Structure 1
Amino acid sequence: MDALEQLRRLCLALPEVTERLSHGEPTWFVRGKKTFVTSADHHHDDRTAFWCAAGPGVQETLVAQDPEKYFRPPYVGHRGWLGVYLDVPLDWDVIGDLVEDAYRVIAPKALVAQLGASSCRPD
């Protein structure tokens, strides 16, 4: 399975998530309204990546720790969103955690409560 398909599976496994194109890229929305993850296939450079919502300090920490995997994306980076390269060796458990955390940042509390302490990630 390619990286975009794996990312899609992770996003669509979460409650009330839909996918549609936004700015020409596959993008995942909570209840069809709020974006929490967007694909970035060569959007501003020759790299494939995705951008996701992130909690306070996450972007700065991950970019500082591993700039080969993480970056501050254009347009949304100033709001703390995280860019994640998909053209490097990937740990899909980490990617799953980032996707779920992005969902928790954006989704209404009632939907986040459906997740509970466990993950909704597909096996």
Structure 2
Amino acid sequence: MINFQKKCKHLNIIKWFVVGILTILTLSNHYYYINLSFPWHIITTIFLFISTISIAFLTKQGKKILLLIYEAKKETKKIIFPKLKETFYTTIIVIIATFIISLILWGLDNILIRFISFITTLRI
């Protein structure tokens, strides 16, 4: 059992090493072989990129990422979005509440300004 876990760990390390090498190859393909005809340049870049991503998803961490993506997609299907009428009424309520609160703050601001100006005009 321990030997199998060591093999899996070593295999995972080798996969990440291959991912690193393929990433370097992809970048060098883009930099050094720019003189290659455009379709071949794009085809090789896409092939190297897809190979890199595929091998990365075969690692332990890659499988966790795939599981996370799958679970996120499953959760987004459970979302119930509001109807247009509900959205409209909620927007109207927010606009009215914002207007009322802004009037209250404007009134308090005017009261405080008049109070402070009254205090500062007094000569004691």
| TM-score, reference length from structure 1 | 0.24
Structure with greater contact order relative to length (CA < 8 Å, sep ≥ 6): 1
Of the two, which has the highest radius of gyration?
A: 2
* Structure richer in strand, relative to its length: 1
* Structure richer in helix, relative to its length: 2
| TM-score, reference length from structure 2 | 0.23
